[in-house]
Amino acid sequence: MSDAAAPAPAAEPVTATAAAAGQSSQQQPSKVAPAVLVIGMAGAGKSMVMQRLSSHLSENRLKTYGINLDPAVVGDLSFPANIDIRDTIHYKKLMEEHNLGPNGAIVLSLNLFTTQFDQLSNLLAQRALENDFVLIDTPGQIEIFTWSAGGAIICDALASRLPTCVVYVVDTVRCQNPVTFMSNMLYTCSILYKTQLPFVVVFNKTDIVKHDFAVEWMRDFEAFEEAVSRESSYTSGLARSLSLVLDEFYSNLRVVGISAARGDGMNDLVEAINEASAEFERDYRPKLEQLRKEKEAEEAARQQAQLNKFAADKNAGMKVAMNLSDAATAVSAAAGASGSRKAQVKLSKINYGKGSHEEYDSDDSDSAYTPRDGLSYMNENEEDEDDADDDEAEGDEYSTAEEAEKERLQFESFKSFLASQNASSAVAKKPQ
C-alpha cells in the first residue's frame, strides 16, 4: 500500500464553503477530516466523481486522502489514491483459485480486505488529522452495502473513528424512466437504513440531462404518478405504490446534481458533504457513543456472570473433593478393619493346626468377637464374608516353622489388645 500524502499547500487551508466561494479565511482549528464513502451502481460515474471532487478540493487548497476499494479497476486510477486494494488483493487469482465469476470475486476481495480493516481505520484516524477530506471509492456491486458483511464492517469501522457520510451516485440519464428511477430510490433507501449514516444523493451526468425532473418526482407524488401512468409495463403499478411509501424518505434526503465530466455543481456537493459531517457529529455520534456504552455494559455483565459461574463451580468442586476425601478415609478404615479380621481367622487356624489354641472368653457382651466351637473368632454379622475368607485361608501354606511362629506371635499380640479393650469396657460399666 502506498501512503504518500499530497504536498502541503502554500497557504493555510480554508473551509470548503469559503473555498467554493473563492474567499480567504483565517486559520481554522485542527479537526478530524470527514470520510466520504462514494457508492453507486456500475456505470454511474463514481470514479469520475472521485477524480473531479479530488481535483476541485485541491484547487481550493484542501488536502485529500484517497482510497480505492475496487479490485477490478484496469490500469491506472483516475484519482490519486494513497491506499489501493489492488496492492494486497489479486482479483483475477481469486477468480481462478475459487472458480468465481467477476461479481463473486469482487465481493470476496472486499470481504478479505475488511478482515484487516481495523488496521486501516487506525491509520485513517491519524491521516484524518493531517488532511481535510478522506475520499473512498467502492466497487459498482452495491450488494456489498445492502447485504454483505463487508460493507457493514467498513461503515462501522469508519464511523467509529471518523465523521462519515455516504455519497450515493445515480445515473441521471437512466433515471428518465420512472421504473428505473424507483429502482434506484429503493437501493438508496436500503443502503441508508443498512449503513445508518448521513446520506447525500448525487445525480451525475447533468451535462446530458438535467436532474430537475428527478427532484420534482421526489417532491411531488402526482408528477411521478403522471409519469408512471405513461408506462405500460407490469411494474408501473408497483412503482406507483412504492412512491407513496418513500414519500417520507425523500423529505430527509440531500439531493445534488453534478456533472463530473465538466465539474458543474461541485461547490454544492462539497457543501452537502460538510452538512452531512455536521449532522454526524450532532445526531449520529451521540447514538454511537450510547451503543458503545450499552455494548460495554453487556460485555461487563457477561464477564461477571462467567466469573460467578466459575466461583460456584469451584465451590461445588471443593465440596465434592471433601466428600471424596471423607469417603476415601472411611473406605481405608474399613479396609484396615477387614484386614485385621482376616489375619485373625488365618492365625487362629494356624494355632489349631499346631494344637496350641487357647480359647478366648470375653466378659464384654457387646464385643463383636465371640468364641464359636473352638474353631475361630468371627463376627456374627459377617458369616458370609468369613466363609469366603476361610476358603481362601485353607489354600495358604507355610513353608517354614519360622513364618508360622511369626504369625502366632502377631495373633497373641492382637489377643492381648482385645483383652485390654474388654477390661477397659468392663471397668467403665461398673457403677460409681
Integer CA distances (angstroms), 140 to 107, 121, 147, 169, in order: 10, 22, 14, 10
For residues 166 and 344, give the distance between their C-alpha atoms in angstroms, rounded to a whole number.
95
Number of alpha carbons in the 13 Å side-chain half-sphere of residue 21? 8
pLDDT tens digits, residue range 270-323? 999 999 999 998 888 888 788 778 888 888 888 888 888 888 877 777 776 676
d(CA 162, CA 72): 27
Separation CA 397–CA 346 (nearest Å): 11
**Beta partners for 377?**
371
Which amino acid is located at 291 in the chain? L
Give the pLDDT confidence score for residue 319 in this predicted structure.
72
Distance CA 105, CA 83 (A): 20
Determine the Cα–Cα distance for residues 124 and 36; give it in Å rounded to an integer: 12
**What confidence score (pLDDT) does residue 132 get?**
93
Q: Is 390 exposed, middle or buried (0-12, 13-18, 19+ CB in 10 A)?
A: middle
Distances (CA, A) of 29 to 15, 17, 130, 420: 11, 16, 12, 102
pLDDT at residue 266, as a whole number: 94
Q: What is the pLDDT of residues 134-145, one digit of tens each?
A: 999 999 888 888
Report how far residue 71's alpha carbon sits from residue 107's, in angstroms, rounded to the nearest whole number: 9
Distance CA 174, CA 300 (A): 52
Q: What grid cell was written down for 117?
A: 480493516
Residues of the chain with confidence (pLDDT) below 50: 1-29, 347, 350-383, 388, 391-398, 432
Query: What is residue 71's predicted lDDT score, i.e. its pLDDT?
Result: 92
pTM confidence score: 0.63
Q: Which fold has domain 16-288?
A: Rossmann fold (3.40.50)
- Residue by residue, DSSP assigns 300-366 as HHHHHHHHHHHHHHHHHHHHHHHHHHHHHHHHHHHHHHHHHHHHHHHHHHHHHHHT-------S-TT
Instruction: Provide CB contacts within 8 A for 298, sequence distance 6+.
Output: none
Which segments of 263-284 does DSSP mark as H helices, in order? 266-279
State the Cα–Cα distance between residues 273 and 167, nearest whole angstrom: 8
- Domain coordinates in residue numbering, the chain: 16-288, 341-429
Close Cβ partners of 278 (under 8 Å, ≥ 6 residues apart): none
Distance CA 392, CA 354 (A): 19
